[in-house]
Every structure is written in structure tokens, then in C-alpha cells.
Amino acid sequence: MAAPTDNSAPLLQVSGLTKLYGPRTGCAGVSFDLYRGEVLGIVGESGSGKSTLLSSLAGQQRPDRGSILWQGQDVLSLPETGRRRLMRSDWAYVHQNPRDGLRMGVSAGANIGERLMALGARHYGGIRASALDWLARVEIDAARIDDRPSAFSGGMQQRLQIARNLVTGPKLVFMDEPTGGLDVSVQARLLDLLRGLVRDLGLSVIIVTHDLAVARLLADRLMVMKDGRVVEEGLTDQVLDDPQHAYTQLLVSSVLQV
Amino acid sequence: MSGYNFAYLDEQTKRMLRRALLKALAIPGYQVPFASREMPMPYGWGTGGVQVTAACLTPQDRLKVIDQGADDTTNAVSIRRFFERTAGVATTTSTAEATVIQTRHRIPEQPLQEGQILVYQVPIPEPLRFLEPRETETRRMHELEDYGLMHVKLYEDIARHGEIATAYAYPVKVGGRYVMDPSPIPKFDNPKLNGNPAIQLFGAGRECRIYALPPYTEVVPLDFEDHPFRPGRADHSCALCGAQESYLDELITDDRGTRLYCCSDTDFCASRQAPSATEA
């Protein structure tokens, strides 16, 4: 599970990223490199700055300090057009609540096709074929292609959101608690699916979760956050099996054992 | 009519409207905000079109007003009379003789000429509105030419109905830049928008927006490669004048569902009937 090192240049280089909310700290001084095909987990309790960090990285809000380099290019100085293009070509964002990431008023097929059409696909048959292909890959019955997501279960909506994001073949996917709000068996299936997709497509992923089991299953590397700062960082197994920081020890020991 | 300025609106308002019109003509398809006035008619009756017409009219103009192609329906009659009384301009029902034509939801069948002005009444100027309710976001989408969403709507049409079922207000791309709602004209009329020698002005009174197509502007309907744009038309000929190529209204003539198809453009239909009537 070690990070692949064949591509020596990191995809994403983050340094000194800081986001303040007035006098309060959202996240502060976060630095890391992300390599191709690597899954980085960000764990921590509620309010530790995980989601702030993720949305600052993904360009949903502007960080106050620090820099983000995508394949060597400064993302924060990109014009809005470039940023939007990046967000729907090389990057993808999977929301915790699928209703935030899906367009609920149009069919599943249109949801999957939207990113393609935004990038200039103008062949209906081609768009539909990719939609069918992706429905199959996320294990949704092809017959549901013309149904609206509002007719889908929570787990199906989340899988549809993943299909919609991955259809353009992004290199980096941001995920905010992708299994939040799903029951355990649906979670397990989704995690299985995600793990398969990440491995098959060689995706780089930054995944925010408070669920250490999810982190253990998916992430190659972990960052543990507390009060907006990274308190511990390392390979997932190393962090979870031999936590060094007092807070990480607390976090690991508070996982319920069945 | 005494007591009113020429064409009802005061000169400062007309000046404001003309500035908006010039800006709209300079950026074809771009929606220019303007300070829409209260007009002595309800919103939805063409207050935008009336303000634009008032700003364009000169005492020498000859005005034609149509509502769904007809010169003799309530909306057309009342607006025509409004300008007869407030501007004292000559009016006509002939497309060829008019210098300014205000229209609700049709483009006349007879091709327009250079020097003519066609004024559209627009209910909802924003083509992206039903897909994206936030005005801030739709303006940004226009700014960034972020129009993928428009095709999502067309995709959805094909997925549900097997073809692009949008029959009116069919979205177009203007001059390779702005996506524009051509107002609820039937898509049959869309080809007439393209390269038209007349000036086409669009006024949305309630929404406070003006946009325009200068003469000979390229206007292309949005479509898919494998589902190209097709202007639709009822597969009949006009029961009154026998026209094969005009846009037809469908009239139900009795309680048993008998239908009659006739030209929606009354001037076009009457001009075709007149010669045959004299021959007979």
C-alpha cells in the first residue's frame, strides 16, 4: 500500500495553507505533497478543520495564506475560467450529501453527462453510452438511466455522484465524508466500489473522514488534525497502529470494537 | 394626445432606453439591465416591448404590431392603439410597409429588409433560468461562457421524448459567444433570426433586461451532432390560403375535435388570399 514513487514529481504541492474565520482558525500551516495514485486521508473530530482544509484545497473558498501547486502550476492565481475548467476536468469533488453534488431535477443520465457536455461533448449517443458505462461501473441498473436521482436510495445517489464526477477521468478527487449518512452495509459496498475505482483508474484522492475504519480501508497516508493544525502524519497503518501524538492515541482508542 | 410626451415616455427615460439599446447592439445577445418603467398596462402584456418601441419611434415611422402573428388580437390591437394615441404615428398591418414592428412570439413570414426594426416582447430573458435559479450564478455563467447546462436540458429532452422537444424559446448562440433566449417564438422561426437584415431588439419589462441582434448577426440554434436542430411545423397546408411553407395555428372548430390549420401570420395569409379573390 505504499505510495507509488515512479512519478517522482508530486501532483499537488501544498504549503503553509491557512484559512481564518475572523479571529478563529479554520486551518493553519498545512503542508503536504500528493503523488499520482496516492490516497491521502484527513481525519480528526468535528471542528478540527478537516472540511475547511478540503474546501480551501478544492477552491471553494479562498485560503488566507499559503500556496497550492497543481502539476507545478499555482492554482490560487488561476483566473476563474481556468479554475472552473480544472474543477470539471482534472479535479472532482464528491460531497458528503449527494444532494449537494447532484442535479436533482434532471435524470441520472443527464447528471453523468453534465461534465462531458460542459467540456464540449455534443454527441448525444456518445454521452449516453458513457452514462450507461458509468452506471454499470457504479453498479446501478442501466434501466434507471432516465430516472431522477430523487427516486434513488441514499447509497445509489452517492454512487451516482461518484459516477458523475469520474466520467471525465479526473486525476484528483476530493471526497468529503463520502460514506456519511449511509448505513453500514451500504457503506461497505461503497467503500469496496471506491477502492476498486481508485485502484483501476490510478486516482489520487484526498478524503476527509471522521471514520477511522474508512481511512484504514482507503487511505495510503493519513493526516490527523486537531484545532486546525496537523498533529500527526504518516502511513495509515503506522499512524493507526502506533499513534505518537496524544490526540491520535485518544482518537484511535475511542473507536468502538464490535 | 395632449398632455403626454411623444410616444408616452419622457425624453430622459427614452435616453436611458436608447443607451441600453446601443449597448445591447454593441454586444449581441448580452442582456443589458435597464430601469424598466411602470407602463399603463400589466406586466406580461408587453411592457418591455412597448418601452423599446417607444424609444425607437420617430414621427415618420409606420408601426405594425402582431400578437402570435396576428394583427387583430387583443394585445396587438391595444398596443397599436396606444401608439396611435400617444405618438400619432401611422400604423399598418403590412409587414413590407412597416418601419417598426412590435411582435409577441412570432417573426413575420415575409422576409424583413434593412432599415426595419423588429421589437420582441420577452417574458423571461434568461435562457438558463429554469436550470439555474440564481441570477448571480447565471450572470457568471454568461461571463465565463459556461454553457454546458444548456445542453443538459436538451439531453433531458431527448432522453424523455426521443427528440429535442423544446418547440418554442429554443436557445440559440449569438455570434459564437452568448447563449440567448429568442423569446417564445416557435423554433420554426429560429432560422429567420440568423443573418436577418433588420435590427432585432428584445425587451423584457418585468425582468428589466434589453438585448439585441444587429443586422446580419450569426445566430445558431444549440443542438447535438446526432440530433440536429429541426424547425418544426404542422404537417398541413393553410386552409385559408393554401400556404405550404408558413407557420400554422391549429384551431378546433367544433365539439367533436375537428381541426382547421391556418397561417398564424394574418398579413401573410391575407396577402396570399387577396390576389386569388380578385381572380375569382
Q: What gap in Å lies between CA B219 and CA B228, rounded to an integer? A: 15
> What per-residue confidence (pLDDT) applies to A2?
44
Burial class (CB in 10 A: 0-12, 13-18, 19+), A2: exposed
Are residues B202 and B239 located together in one domain of the fold?
no
> What per-residue confidence (pLDDT) applies to B89?
95
> What per-residue confidence (pLDDT) applies to B280?
44
Please indicate, yes or no, if residue B169 is contained in any of the structural domains: yes
Domain endpoint, select from B221, B242, B258 = B221
> Is B56 a catalytic site residue?
no
Residues of A in Cβ contact (< 8 Å) with B155: 106, 109-110, 113, 117, 124, 127
Query: Do B148 and A81 count as a contact with CB atoms less than 8 A apart?
Result: no
Are residues B211 and B249 located together in one domain of the fold?
no
Record the pTM. Answer: 0.84
Are residues B179 and B247 located together in one domain of the fold?
no
Contact between B197 and B216 under an 8 Å Cβ cutoff? The reply is yes
Q: Which residues pair with A69 in a beta bridge?
A: A13, A74
Domain endpoint, select from B221, B252, B271 = B221
Q: What gap in Å lies between CA A58 and CA A39, rounded to an integer? A: 15
**Chain A nearest C-alpha distance from B192 (Å):** 24
Contact between A173 and A165 under an 8 Å Cβ cutoff? The reply is yes
Are residues B269 and B157 located together in one domain of the fold?
no
Q: Which is the catalytic residue, given B115, B238, B257, B262?
A: B238
Domains in chain B, number: 2
Q: How many CA atoms lie within 13 A of A187 on its CB side?
A: 16
Q: In what order do the strands lie in the sheet with B32-33?
A: B32-33, B209-213, B199-204, B117-121, B100-104, B62-67, B90-91
> What per-residue confidence (pLDDT) applies to A180?
81
Are residues B53 and B191 located together in one domain of the fold?
yes
Q: Which is the catalytic residue, given B46, B49, B203, B241?
A: B241
Tell me whether A78 touches chain B (CB under 8 Å).
no
> Is B262 a catalytic site residue?
no
A111 sits in which H/E element: helix A108-118
Closest CB from B140, B155, B160 relative to A127? B155
| Residue among A211, A202, A204 nearest A240 (CA) | A211
Please indicate, yes or no, if residue B273 is contained in any of the structural domains: yes
Tell me whether B152 touches chain A (CB under 8 Å).
yes
Contact between A152 and A71 under an 8 Å Cβ cutoff? The reply is no
> What per-residue confidence (pLDDT) applies to B1?
59
Cβ atoms within 10 Å, residue B257: 7
The bridge status of strand B209-213 relative to strand B219-221 is unpaired
Please indicate, yes or no, if residue B2 is contained in any of the structural domains: no
Q: What gap in Å lies between CA A108 and CA A132, rounded to an integer? A: 10
Are residues B166 and B57 located together in one domain of the fold?
yes
The bridge status of strand B117-121 relative to strand B172-174 is unpaired
Q: What gap in Å lies between CA A111 and CA A101, rounded to an integer? A: 10
Please indicate, yes or no, if residue B121 is contained in any of the structural domains: yes
Amino acid at B204: A
- Write the ipTM: 0.83
| Residue among B27, B48, B46, B28 nearest B37 (CA) | B48
The three-point CA angle A208-A212-A218 to 5° equals 65
Place of cell 398632455: B3
Q: What gap in Å lies between CA A52 and CA A168, rounded to an integer? A: 26
Burial class (CB in 10 A: 0-12, 13-18, 19+), B27: middle
Q: Where are the alpha helices (DSSP H) in chain B?
A: 11-26, 47-56, 74-86, 135-143, 148-161, 190-193, 266-279
Pull the grid cell for residue A4.
Answer: 507509488
Tell me whether A85 touches chain B (CB under 8 Å).
no
Closest CB from A84, A113, A119 relative to B152? A113
Are residues B178 and B278 located together in one domain of the fold?
no
Residues of B in Cβ contact (< 8 Å) with A118: 146, 148-149
Domain endpoint, select from B192, B221, B250 = B221
The sign of the dihedral angle between the CA atoms of B126, B131, B136, B138 is negative
Cβ atoms within 10 Å, residue B144: 14
User: In a structure prediction context, what are the per-residue pLDDT tens digits for chain A, which is 258 residues long?
Assistant: 444 444 578 999 999 999 999 888 999 999 999 999 999 999 988 888 998 999 999 988 899 999 999 998 999 999 988 888 898 889 999 999 999 999 998 999 999 999 999 998 999 999 999 999 999 999 999 999 999 999 999 989 999 999 999 999 999 999 999 888 788 888 888 888 888 988 888 899 999 988 888 899 899 999 999 999 999 999 999 999 999 999 999 888 888 766
The structural domains of chain A, ordered by start, are: 12-254 (3.40.50.300)
Are residues B37 and B58 located together in one domain of the fold?
yes
Are residues B267 and B183 located together in one domain of the fold?
no
Q: What gap in Å lies between CA B249 and CA B239, rounded to an integer? A: 10
Cβ atoms within 10 Å, residue A99: 14
Which residue segment(s) compose the domain that B105 sits in? 11-221
* CATH number (domain holding residue B156): 3.40.50.11310
CA-to-CA dists, residue B165 to A191, B154, B169, B186, angstroms: 40, 8, 11, 12
Please indicate, yes or no, if residue B87 is contained in any of the structural domains: yes
Pull the grid cell for residue A244.
Answer: 505518537
User: In a structure prediction context, what are the per-residue pLDDT tens digits for chain B, which is 280 residues long?
Assistant: 577 899 999 999 999 999 999 999 999 999 999 999 999 988 888 999 999 999 999 999 999 999 999 999 999 999 999 999 999 999 999 999 999 999 999 999 999 999 999 999 999 999 999 888 899 999 999 999 989 899 999 999 999 999 999 999 999 999 999 999 999 999 999 999 999 999 999 999 999 999 999 999 999 999 999 999 999 888 999 999 999 999 999 999 999 999 999 999 999 999 998 775 555 4
Please indicate, yes or no, if residue B5 is contained in any of the structural domains: no
Q: How many CA atoms lie within 13 A of B47 on its CB side?
A: 18
Q: How far apart are the first and last CA of chain B?
A: 44
A87: helix, strand or coil:
helix
Amino acid at A75: V
Reported residue count of chain A is 258
Are residues B118 and B237 located together in one domain of the fold?
no
Which residues 6+ apart lie within 8 Å of A243 measured at CB? A224, A232, A249, A251, A252
The bridge status of strand A229-235 relative to strand A221-226 is antiparallel
Q: Which residues pair with A229 in a beta bridge?
A: A226
Helices A184-201, A154-166: crossing angle, 10 deg rounding: 10
Query: Do B159 and A145 count as a contact with CB atoms less than 8 A apart?
Result: yes
